[in-house]
Amino acid sequence: MRFVLTSLGTKPAPEVAVFSSRGPDPINPAILKPDVIAPGVDVLAAVPPFTKIKVGDYELVTDYAFKSGTSLAAPHVSGVAALLKAVHPDWSPAAIRSALMTTAYTINNNGTTLTNQFYVVVGSRVEPTTLTFTKKYQKLSFTVSVEIDGIAPPETYGYLKWIDQRNRTISSPIVVLIS
């Protein structure tokens, strides 16, 4: 099997979409998913024909539209898996998975590790830096400040990590809303 490269001069490419999962899992670092990521941004996809698009002064009906999401990335991976199975019909699903994982790119066309699309978190700050609870069910609050460089999506996801009184690392998911 031989793949042909398409190059449009975009650098860096590829980039990881803002909505993509990343591993290891921030809550449970023993979970290293996802195994493979694939293109899922602005994929030209078949849609129900009642979708209207506006071009200039005209509203047109089309069978195709640009869509984004993990449901658009999945067909890329399953298509490559189907091609591998066609070339190697004796391979098990585990062998195909291994082939995908061990030959996937981890470097972009700038020669560096794959980067996130659109934005970079430049810095973050949590105030106060320490919360001390003195009784059960006590409520205390904190503020998280995030500095972002670039064009940020309306929301992004992350996690806070802290050390509890027993010296255990605790993680909690957070959502950052950009206004």
Tokens of 118: 């659109």
- Count the alpha carbons within 13 Å of 39 in the hemisphere toward its beta carbon: 11
Yes or no: say if 117 and 22 are a contact pair by the CB < 8 Å rule: no
pLDDT of 138: 87
Closest-CA residue to 11 (of 88, 152, 83, 115)? 115
Residues facing 163 on adjacent strands: 169
pLDDT 10s digits, 165-174 = 778 777 677 7
Collect the ranges in the chain with pLDDT lower than 50: none
- Spatial contact of 100 and 35, defined as CB atoms under 8 Å apart: yes
Q: Quick one: 152 exposed, middle or buried, by C-beta within 10 A (0-12, 13-18, 19+)?
A: middle
- pLDDT recorded at residue 99: 94
Give Cα 166 to chain centroid, integer Å: 33
- Check residue 57 and give its pLDDT: 83
Q: What is the dihedral of CA 166, 172, 176, 177, to 10 degrees?
A: -120
